[in-house]
Amino acid sequence: MKQSRWQQATYRHPYLFALLLLAVAFTVNALLQPNLLEPTTLNSNMRVFLPLILVAVGQAIVMIGGGIDISVGSIVSVTNAILATQIGLSGDLSTAGVIMGVALLAGMGAGALNGLCVAYLRLQPIITTFATSFIYSGLALFILPNPGGGVPSRLTAFYRETIILWLPLAFYVIALILLIWAAIRRTRYGRYLYAVGGKADAAYETGVPVRAVQFSTYVISGFMAALGGIAMTLLTGSGNAQVGDPLTLSSITAAVIGGTPLSGGAGGVAGPMIGAIILGLIRNIISFANVATWWQTFVNAAIIVLALATPGIINLVRRRNR
């Protein structure tokens, strides 16, 4: 029952560990790439990190609510396929806006299907979203069987080059999300989210609309994945129906590093954002170190296993030492 000081600190600030890791990753990266903080380098990094940051935020909200969403990567792919085929390299901006809206709706629809199965049909989140991920990636391949299509260069230029007051576009997106999250945290919905993820039975007995809250987390996650898909498309400027695949594992890793436990009911959104940045920095480090890219996947998986095992290892060590 007694909590250590570290446990208390991480309860109040779940992203403490992530900040520590960020400092390390940043230092190593800066040693390899001394111009890391120059505006252009910062921008070229952040615009690459942003899609994962967005997806990780959605993933974190599902995880706080006690679930998990294995289909986010496929939703990113669907979004990419829709944008690349429907806007096209020579599309005009107003169509682009409409199509992006459609893509966001599609993401929310995919999330709603997940939410329906998990919250109302009471299926296992991990199995359900794993299964639906195949539906969505199939859909992406149906829309865009071969890599191709794309979006006009004016759009990609806007995404890639926008720097306001020395800070790249990604910073403003992050700030906006943090502001919205801070507001949500102070509403009843915010409280319900943590209650449902912490102990759904207790929340139900207290009168929290448990299913509606669970459902909503998947819709939010679908929306954020679609947003991530839009960012990804604007970043690459092209279509590829498998572009989102690696984001699923990465988003879970980012959320876990960011202090959102797989057991739910704790964590936040700032941590997972930092987690996503850490993963991006690690990828930089790996590419600078000139090793094969599959190391990235290995590192992702290793981090998850380590994050899960750390509390157990700490306990074992403590027992030994007494």
Partner 1 sequence: MPPLLAVRNVAKRYGAVQALIDASLEVDAGETLALIGANGSGKSTLSKVINGVVAPERGQLLLGGRSVHFDSPHAAKDAGISTVFQELSLVPQMTVAENIWLTREPLRRSGMIDRRTERRRTEDLLSLFAGTLRADLTPDTPVAALLPDERQIVEILKAISVNPRLLILDEATASLDSRQVQRLFELIGQWKAQGTAIIFISHRMAEIEQIADRYSVLRNGQTVGAGSMKEATANDLVTLMAPETAGGAVERRRLSSDILATRRIVLQIDDLRTSVLRGVSMQVREGELLGIGGLKGQGQRDLLLAIFGGTPWSGRITLDGKPVHFTHPRQAMNHGVALVPGDRAGEGLLSIRSILENLLVPSWRNYGFPLQMQRARRDASAIAARLDLKMAGLDAPVSSLSGGNAQKVVIGKWLLRNPRILLLDDPTKGVDIATKAEFYRLLTRLCEEGTTVILYSSDDEELIGLSDRVIVMHDGRISSELAGASLTTANLVAASLGVASGDAP
**What residues line the site for partner 1 (CB under 8 A)?**
1-3, 8, 11, 183, 186-188, 190-192, 194-195, 197-199, 201-208, 265-266, 319, 322
Least distance (Å) from partner 1 to the CB of residue 207? 4
CB 282 within 8 A of CB 299: yes
CB closer to partner 1, 8 vs 40: 8
Rounded to whole angstroms, how far apart are CA atoms 206 and 203?
5
Rounded to whole angstroms, how far apart are CA atoms 107 and 74?
10
Torsion angle in degrees (nearest 10) through CA of 294, 299, 300, 305: 130
Least distance (Å) from partner 1 to the CB of residue 187? 6
Rounded to whole angstroms, how far apart are CA atoms 65 and 262?
10
Least distance (Å) from partner 1 to the CB of residue 306? 22
Query: Partners of 239 in the beta sheet?
Result: 148
CA-based max dimension of the chain: 69
Least distance (Å) from partner 1 to the CB of residue 255? 16
Q: Which of 103, 117, 93, 87 is nearest to 222 (CA)?
A: 103
CB closer to partner 1, 201 vs 294: 201
Rounded to whole angstroms, how far apart are CA atoms 322 and 318?
7
Least distance (Å) from partner 1 to the CB of residue 170? 28
Tokens of 214: 């669970």
Least distance (Å) from partner 1 to the CB of residue 26? 30
* Angle, CA 30 vertex, CA 228 and CA 273 arms, to 5°: 25
CB closer to partner 1, 64 vs 155: 64
CB closer to partner 1, 231 vs 256: 256
Exposed, middle or buried, 266 (CB in 10 Å: 0-12/13-18/19+)?
Answer: middle
CB closer to partner 1, 128 vs 260: 260
Handedness of CA 83, 84, 85, 88 (dihedral sign): positive
Least distance (Å) from partner 1 to the CB of residue 149? 43
Q: Which of 198, 155, 175, 199 is nearest to 57 (CA)?
A: 175
CB closer to partner 1, 111 vs 268: 268
CB closer to partner 1, 290 vs 321: 321
SS3 state at 186: coil
Q: Please report where in the chains the tokens 């990465």 appear, as a residue.
A: 250
CB closer to partner 1, 166 vs 201: 201
Least distance (Å) from partner 1 to the CB of residue 176? 18
CB closer to partner 1, 7 vs 27: 7
Least distance (Å) from partner 1 to the CB of residue 7? 9
Q: Which of 236, 223, 233, 248 is nearest to 82 (CA)?
A: 233
